[in-house]
C-alpha cells in the first residue's frame, strides 16, 4: 500500500501507466481504455474482461461491478506520481479504496461501468461534482465531526 520507486524516470510516463494497468496472464485480462493526467496524478479507466460472461458472473469481485453481457466491466484507477532524488515513484489504487485524489475527468469517468461499491460511488460523485476533498476533510467525514 506504499509507494514504488524506479531508479529512473520512464521515458513515457503515460505508456508506463498503461503498462501498469495491463494484465494478460490472469483472468480477467485488463487494459487501460482511457488515461488522463491532472497535475502529477494519473487517472485510468481499466477494462477487466473475462473469457466468458459465465466466468465473469462467477467471480466474487463482480458483485460490486456487475459485468456487461460480454463479460467485462470497467473500473477507475488512480496513480499518484512524483519525481525525486530516488527517481520516479507511484502509488496506485482503485476507486473502491475511495481515493482522496478525485479530479478524474469525464474522458475517464464516462468509460466506467456501473458499480455498487460505496467508496467507488462516492469517489465518482466527488469527481463529477468537482468537489475534491483534502485528507483533513476526509478524516472529519469519517469521524463524523464538523
Q: Residue 49: helix, strand or coil by DSSP?
A: strand
Number of residues in the chain = 146
Please give the mean pLDDT across all residues of the chain.
89
pLDDT in tens, 77-100: 999 999 988 899 999 999 999 999
Burial annotation 72-87 (CB, 10 A radius, 16+ → b, else e) = bbbbbbbbbbeeeeee
Q: Would you give the distance in Å from CA 100 to the centre of its chain?
A: 12
66, three cell numbers? 456487475
Query: 62: pLDDT confidence band, cut at 50, 70 and 90?
Result: confident
- For the chain, the domain total comes to 1
The CA distance from 50 to 116, in Å, is 19
By residue range, what is the domain housing residue 31? 4-142
Helix locations, 33-117, DSSP H: 53-58, 106-109
pLDDT at 145: 45
Residue 24 pLDDT > 50: yes
Which residue has 494497468 as its cell numbers? 21
Residue 141 pLDDT > 70: no
Amino acid at each position: 500500500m506504499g509507494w514504488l520507486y524506479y531508479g529512473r524516470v520512464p521515458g513515457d510516463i503515460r505508456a508506463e501507466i498503461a503498462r501498469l494497468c495491463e494484465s494478460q496472464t490472469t483472468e480477467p485480462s485488463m487494459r487501460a481504455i482511457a488515461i488522463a493526467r491532472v497535475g502529477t496524478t494519473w487517472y485510468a479507466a481499466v477494462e477487466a474482461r473475462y473469457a466468458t460472461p459465465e466466468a465473469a458472473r462467477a467471480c466474487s469481485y463482480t458483485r460490486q461491478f456487475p459485468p456487461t453481457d460480454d463479460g467485462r466491466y470497467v473500473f477507475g484507477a488512480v496513480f499518484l506520481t512524483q519525481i525525486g532524488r530516488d527517481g520516479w515513484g507511484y502509488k496506485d489504487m482503485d476507486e473502491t479504496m475511495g481515493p482522496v485524489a478525485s479530479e478524474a475527468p469525464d474522458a475517464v469517468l464516462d468509460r466506467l461501468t456501473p458499480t455498487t461499491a460505496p467508496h467507488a460511488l462516492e469517489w465518482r460523485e466527488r469527481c463529477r461534482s468537482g468537489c475534491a476533498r483534502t485528507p483533513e476533510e476526509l478524516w472529519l467525514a469519517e469521524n463524523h465531526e464538523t
